[in-house]
Structure 1
Amino acid sequence: MAGVCSAPRTSRTVVIGVNWLGDTVMSLPALAALRKWLPQEEIHVVCPTPLSDLVRMAQVADQVWGWPEGNRRRINLLRSIEAGRAILFPNSFRSAWIVMWAGVPKRWGYAGQWRSLMLNPCVPALRRPKGSHHSELYLELLRAMGWSGQAAPVQLRVPEEARKRAFEALGARAFGTRLVGICPGAAYGPAKRWPLERFADAARGLIRSYGVKVVLMGSSAEREELNRMAEDLGQDALNLAGRTDLPGLAALLSQCDLLLCNDSGPMHLAAALGVPVVAVFGSTDPVATAPLGPHRIVSLGLACSPCFRRSCPDGNYRCLLGVQVEDVLNAAQQFLG
């Protein structure tokens, strides 16, 4: 299989990005490696519009595009980029179908999902080796193309305007005291969500033991329940759920001394910003999707996990309910004690 470096130096590559915040963060080392490997290449990334700011913050592409609605518009967007090569990080049929109909000559991606004939070259489907990280799947695709380097570090540059908004939202909490962020949500499903009342108890323990202030973060759908949590915690807590876009969330996280969370997109974002993370894992694999940064994972390692289910097939959620508040506080001590 010919290496991609045989292409003209002036060629243009379009990378099709993945669809979730956490997966996008885990794909950034591959994007950074691609940028370093082909410095003369004009690199474009196309991804879901809400995630485009994250890729821009990583400074790994010449141009970042958000997907428009509808297949025809997506095809037209790719045609307008006029790339000679596409790299498909998603394993979906749709991503390969759109790139093929856009007429991109070289279409690198993994086989599977009935899409092998739409790829050129088609890389044999890769099973992630046991004990390896999910980010390796994206790096292995580059290795199939001829790359042989080491994963490059990724540094996120938070926009200055987002930092200003974060300081305004935090007010006096941004100065003179340590901040602990709490993101108790997880979009995947209840099998990844440690009970909210235990997050509240852990917050009380951190306030009592270390004198920290707590910042609650999440989606607008979580705002009401986090308002109640903030009211219960009193003046040491501030609820900013639903009040940030992605750069704003990154700016808030960058001000934290620690993030307490589930296995979620904010977990990966915080770690990419260099913020220490204590994360509770339930149905997912703490090896495969560990945050790429300073962290402690709290997981029971039960025989039934990781099951990767969105909800517990037995209905008891033992992998989550068995994690005690004291377990989380002990993990946090490493970063706050």
Structure 2
Amino acid sequence: MIKALVIAPQWIGDAVMTEPLLRRLAARGERITVAAVPWVAPVYRAMPQVAEVLVLPFARGGVQWAARRAYAAALRGQFARAYVCPNSLKSALIPFWAGIPERIGYTGELRFGLLNRRLPNPPEGSRPPMVAFYSALSGESGVDADRPALQVAADAIAAVLAPRGLQAQGFYVVAPGAEYGPAKRWPAGHFAAMAARLEQPVLLLGSAKDDAVCNEIAEAVNSVRPDHCVNLAGRTSLDEAVALIAGAHAMVSNDSGLMHVAAAFGVPQVAIFGSSSPLHTPPLNPAATVLWLKNDPSYQPPLDCAPCFKRDCPLGHTRCLNDITPDRVLSVL
């Protein structure tokens, strides 16, 4: 059995989209250990093909040469192969310093000596969907058909739901955040108007950065329907958030990491896109509906500016999100 180390991406959505790669590696007999930063490690704990998850102890930003070299020294002799998912220089240092014989990844950022099996970087503007991008590291064909899948045991879901008085499929999850910026976030007022009309209770999920907008939504909803909406942003671990999404009746979100988590569980969902494009990072879920005004022929005038991939709307109107109404979301939810 080949022991393989996978260096994980640092974004939740990207971590989800590496699952088909890991499934391919496990199917051909590789024993997989994933090295991941703390905020994505729980995603890998929901992948049964992963034998071990190593939580990397490094702070955000900076190469941290000495810390990485020391960490790599402790891994020497443990792995025969490494797959480096991110394109950065620092992500390739640990496999190199650990002396792992076979080191696979994209050419990336100045990594010619660090990787000895390099895939060429796709040309700018023609990068494949992210699942195929990561699955290609396996060296196998047919990667375009891959779809991520996560699993959490029913008793683990129940352990998170029971203390909150919830039953599986008895609530909605709403994730109004998007780490990238405002041009990916449906307005808080729209979220509140939609959530207030849902029959089952609503849980708001997100990071501590989303607490303010989630408070705004919860207060607006509960002013008309007391105790209907609960703000859990920053109040759950990612392991708990993953279990809550897995147990939800349905989910509504922006284009975000939690959107991809819901997709990988096959949870019915509505995914709202603004400045980004579902052609590149869609929720790969047959139970998903994507709302994106760019490809809606009935929407006039057309959104020639989309997708702009900006953090803030450069034109100042954010029509791509403001003009998706709560009624529209409810009609497909």
TM-score range (shorter-chain normalised) is 0.7 to 0.9
1:43 aligns with 2:32: yes
Q: Shift of residue 127 of structure 1?
A: 4.3
Question: What is the CA–CA distance in structure 2 between the aligned matches of 1:282 and 1:255, rounded to whole Å?
Answer: 27
Partner of residue 228, structure 2:
236
Partner of residue 289, structure 2:
296
Question: What is the CA–CA distance in structure 2 between the aligned matches of 1:266 and 1:166, rounded to whole Å?
Answer: 18
Question: What is the CA–CA distance in structure 2 between the aligned matches of 1:119 and 1:224, rounded to whole Å?
Answer: 43
Question: Which of the residues 8, 11, 14 maps onto 1:17?
Answer: 8
Relative distance call for 1:56 and 1:104 in structure 2 (3 A) is same
Check whether the contact 1:132–1:287 (CA below 8 A) recurs between aligned residues: no
Unaligned 5+ segments in structure 2 are: 59-63, 295-302
Q: 1:147-201 CA deviation, whole Å, 9 max, x = no partner? A: 66874763312584563132212x1x537x8422111011111111111111011
Question: What is the CA–CA distance in structure 2 between the aligned matches of 1:140 and 1:190, rounded to whole Å?
Answer: 32
Question: What is the CA–CA distance in structure 1 between the aligned matches of 2:160 and 2:148, rounded to whole Å?
Answer: 27
Check whether the contact 2:18–2:148 (CA below 8 A) recurs between aligned residues: no
Partner of residue 55, structure 2:
66
1:100 aligns with 2:91: no
Structure with the bigger percentage of helix:
1
Partner of residue 308, structure 1:
309
Partner of residue 318, structure 2:
317
Question: Which of the residues 227, 247, 256 maps onto 2:239?
Answer: 247
Question: What is the CA–CA distance in structure 2 between the aligned matches of 1:243 and 1:258, rounded to whole Å?
Answer: 20
Question: CA-atom RMSD, angstroms?
Answer: 2.4
Unaligned 5+ segments in structure 1 are: 1-9, 333-337
Relative distance call for 1:75 and 1:159 in structure 2 (3 A) is farther
Question: What is the CA–CA distance in structure 2 between the aligned matches of 1:35 and 1:75, rounded to whole Å?
Answer: 28
Which residue identity is paired with 1:157? V
1:217 aligns with 2:205: yes
Which residue identity is paired with 1:309? K
SS at match of 2:49: coil
Question: What is the CA–CA distance in structure 2 between the aligned matches of 1:140 and 1:221, rounded to whole Å?
Answer: 34
Q: Shift of residue 231 of structure 1?
A: 3.0
Check whether the contact 1:162–1:247 (CA below 8 A) recurs between aligned residues: no
108-117 vs 293-302, greater mean Cα deviation: 108-117
Question: Which of the residues 148, 151, 154 maps onto 2:149?
Answer: 154
SS at match of 2:203: strand
1:226 aligns with 2:214: yes
Relative distance call for 1:131 and 1:117 in structure 2 (3 A) is closer
- TM-score, normalized by length of structure 1? 0.84
Q: 1:247-305 CA deviation, whole Å, 9 max, x = no partner? A: 10012112211101100111111111221110110111112111122200111113222
Question: What is the CA–CA distance in structure 1 between the aligned matches of 2:202 and 2:56, rounded to whole Å?
Answer: 35
Question: Which of the residues 167, 170, 174 maps onto 2:167?
Answer: 174
Partner of residue 165, structure 1:
160
Task: Tell me the number of residue pairs that the alignment of Structure 1 and Structure 2 aligns.
Answer: 312
- TM-score, normalized by length of structure 2? 0.85
Check whether the contact 2:16–2:148 (CA below 8 A) recurs between aligned residues: no
SS at match of 2:39: helix
Relative distance call for 1:222 and 1:278 in structure 2 (3 A) is same
